Each structure stands twice: as C-alpha cells, then as structure tokens.
Amino acid sequence: MLRLGIVGLPNVGKSTLFNALTAAGAEAANYPFCTVEPNVGMVEVPDARLTLLTEKIGPRQTIPAVVQFVDIAGLVKGASEGEGLGNQFLANIRETDAIVHVVRCFDDTDVVHVMGGIDPVRDREVINLELVLADLSVVEKRLERVRKGARGGDRDARAELGLLERLFEALSEGRSARSVETSSEEEVLLRSFNLLTSKPVVYLANVAESDLPEGENAYVSALRTAVTASGELAEVIPISSRIESELSELPADQRDEFLTSLGLEEPGLNRLIRSGYRLLGLQTYFTAGEKEVRAWTIPIGAKAPEAAGVIHSDFQRGFIRAETVGWNDFVRTGSVKVARDQGLMRSEGKEYLVADGDILLFRFNV
C-alpha cells in the first residue's frame, strides 16, 4: 500500500484537498490550525485494467489497490521549535512513503495567508526548512547515542556513524537527507531512520478554477523554476482543490460530464497517484478468479516470491512457482482460461521479474 503524507502552510487548501481526495470530511475552515488531529483516509487506486478484468471474469468481489493519505495540521515558520500545531504531528507522516507538499498558487482575498502575500517559492522554502530542522533534531539525538556506542566497540553503531555524520552536516547546511549520497547498505539504514527529507516529494500547486485546464499561471511557473534550480527530483502537479471538492460531491455518473465541461480528462487524484507510483518505482499485478479479482502494489523489479509475499508471508516462504498470464495476452484473448488453452500461461520460478499488469496464480507449500 502506498502511503502519502500531506504537508503545507495553513490555509493553502490542504485539508480541502484531503477531503476531496478521500471524502473523509475533515474540517476545513478559513483559519490556521483547524486540522488539530491528523486525518487518515484511504483511496482506491483508479485502474481501467481492474475494471476490464472484472467485466471479463465476473467475480463475486473486486478489490482495488489503495493509497493512504495522512493530513496533519498546517506547518508554520518555527514549527521545528514548537510553533503552531503541525509540529506535534510530524511523527504521523514519518511512516509514510512520500510527501505531498500542497503549495498555494491562487489569489483570493477571502482566504487569508499566514505569511501575507502569495509566494509559492517562499512557502516551499519555509516548509522544506522546517522539515530539515525536524530531521536535524532526530539525527542529532541519534548521532550522540551512536557515537557512544561506536566508542564502546558496538559494530552496528560504527556502521551507522559515517552516514549519520554526513546527514548531520547536510541538514545543518539546510540541505535535505535526499542530497546525501549513500551506498546500498547505507540506503537500507537511511530508510530505517524515517527522515522526512529522505522521502520523495510531489508538489501540488493549488490553482484557481480559472487556471484550468492547463493549470499554469505565474505562481506555478515560479514554483517549477525553483524546484528545477534546486536540483530536486520532484514533480509539480497543478490541481484545484475547489474543483476536486466539487467533483467528490457529485454522483459517479455525473463526474465525467463535469470534467469534460472544464476541459479536463481526469481528476487530479489520478495524476497524483500516478506520480506517487513513478516516484517510488511501483507497479501493479493482479490475481483473478471467480471468487475475487484484486490489484496488488509491488516495487518495479520485484521477483515472483516477493510479489507473492505481498499477499501472505507463507506464499513467499513456501513459493513453488507462479502461473503467469501477461496483460497483453489477456487483452488479446479476453480470458485467462483461453490464454491457458492457447499456451499463453507461463510457469515462472523464483527468479522471474514480475511485469506491470501480470495476472498471477501462486503455487506454494509450507
């Protein structure tokens, strides 16, 4: 399951967007800190392939892959030192896979901005610095403990020490943990630290309805330029929280018509989820039968036993083989059974690299 943590200054449309994406009904008022407790919402991953599988197989139930969104109170300048309420909930997004940074890119005199005028470049820098300082506090405490262990001959502490010292140096200079080069062994360590600035970032540029469908304005352009200049490998996705909110309130059969009237091909949620999958190198495979059709999320490059383990650890532990139908073969034949009868179902072993869209049946024994 993909987990995304939503951050941003107060009153940038963060909670409105969360409500729209998850239909969770989190409070969204025009004053700072209205989101006091962290909100968690689950969203189905839109996938036309799952719909087609369901139509062809007619299972008793269909279970899509899901994304978890975690929304916390708006962060403000000084959050790392206890200012505002957002600092209290940073721990809630340390467990997420990526950060969704909502940046205000619209003018509206009725919606106050906690820092005065609209300036997405400044807002990005403020939030990024607060995340850096929050991570610096974590690394500083861990470094103190690890140094003591290393002096005492602790082998694990010695392995951590070099990485922590480089992280401390980068964070002290205002750079993110992502900017620190790591070996494959250190990368595993880094992930275990759950540093906020080690996570991939998607910038959601919250624009006015009038800026759609292109979603571009001077604010968005400035934000893109700042992200590019920083060397940060992050996507900037224009989105209108107001439109997403209106869309979420419509019956499903009216949403396509509403999108078309705005010149949009799809909701912003779809683009956000695809961006998250790209950033984290994720893909989808399917299991399909009369009882259930289901989508599963795995890393690109996962081998068959690892993919089986997403279903249950016993599947990975006792893995024998994976009976596989490629997505294109399924589309061509229109049936897993026909694909099997035509010799298109393959028997794959432990070294098989699962492909996006594969339909898999695992054989195992424990």
- Do 311 and 319 touch, CB atoms closer than 8 A? no
Tokens of 101: 């940074």
- Do 247 and 258 touch, CB atoms closer than 8 A? yes
d(CA 20, CA 82): 29
Strand pairing report for 66-71 and 201-206: unpaired
**pLDDT score recorded for residue 89:** 66
- Do 115 and 10 touch, CB atoms closer than 8 A? no
Q: How far is CA 365 from CA 58, 284, 350, 354, in A?
A: 29, 24, 14, 20
C-alpha R_g of the chain: 23
Amino acid at 247: L
**pLDDT score recorded for residue 25:** 44
Amino acid at 342: Q
Q: For residue 281, what is the DSSP state?
A: T
- Give 3-state DSSP helix, strand, coil % of the chain, rounded to 5: 45, 20, 35
Residue 278 CB contacts under 8 Å (≥ 6 apart), including other chains = 235
Strand pairing report for 346-348 and 201-206: unpaired
**pLDDT score recorded for residue 228:** 94
- pTM, two decimal places: 0.85
d(CA 271, CA 348): 33
Is the preceding omega at residue 213 within 30 degrees of 0, hence cis? yes
Q: List the chain pLDDT tens, one digit each, 366 residues.
A: 889 999 998 888 888 888 888 774 444 444 333 444 567 888 889 899 999 999 999 999 999 999 988 887 667 666 556 555 545 667 778 889 999 999 999 988 877 677 778 999 999 999 999 899 989 999 999 999 899 888 887 888 888 899 999 999 999 999 999 999 999 889 999 999 999 999 999 999 999 999 988 899 999 999 999 999 998 889 999 999 989 989 888 888 898 999 999 999 989 889 999 999 999 999 999 999 999 999 999 999 999 999 999 999 999 999 999 999 999 999 999 999 999 999 999 999 999 999 999 999 999 998
Q: What residues are paired with 362 via a beta bridge?
A: 322
CA angle (166 as vertex; 160, 172 as ends), nearest 5:
125
How many Cβ atoms sit within 10 Å of the Cβ of residue 153? 8
Question: To which H or E segment does residue 298 belong?
Answer: strand 292-299
Residue 263 CB contacts under 8 Å (≥ 6 apart), including other chains = 212, 213
Q: Which of 211, 268, 194, 190 is nearest to 235 (CA)?
A: 268
- Do 207 and 217 touch, CB atoms closer than 8 A? yes
- Do 247 and 259 touch, CB atoms closer than 8 A? yes
**Chain centroid to CA 67: how far?**
7
